[in-house]
Amino acid sequence: MKPATTAAYSYNKMIAYAEKYWKHHNSAFRTYGGNDCTNFLSQIMLAGGWKPAGGSIIQRTSNKYWFYGPVSLWTSYTWGGAENWYWYDTHNKPVSTLVSDHPNTWWYAHRT
């Protein structure tokens, strides 16, 4: 996801949302069965100021878009699918670009 240059993310809002809904889901959002972690992550990101990208039903299968629609059919695959979220605008993106796009983010390395 490429955020708007004027975007301001609130990590405090993200944490507050996660703390509030970690045990009981927010009824304003659908659940996706027992494996709902990516949906929950998307809700947290939205609460923290991430702006949806796209919104058209024909964009829902593309990993270039991230949005929540009024029904499942109008919600992007990246919203609730872990594999799709992983690929959302990150494939072969240089670390320098990620850092410049998200200057206030903390970055951690993980070796697999």
pLDDT computed for residue 9 by the predictor:
85
pLDDT computed for residue 112 by the predictor:
47
User: For residues 57, 58, 64 and 69, what is the CA-based torsion angle, rounded to 10 degrees?
Assistant: 0
Helical (H) or strand (E) element with 11: helix 11-21
Q: Which residues pair with 31 in a beta bridge?
A: none
Burial of 28 (0-12, 13-18, 19+ CB in 10 A): exposed
Q: Can you point out the beta strands (E) in 14-70?
A: none
CA distance 67 to 77: 9
Residue 27, C-beta contacts closer than 8 angstroms, at least 6 positions apart: none
- pLDDT < 50 regions, the chain: 3-6, 112
pLDDT computed for residue 91 by the predictor:
58
pLDDT computed for residue 5 by the predictor:
46
Q: Take residue 46 and report the two structure tokens written for it.
A: 């939205």
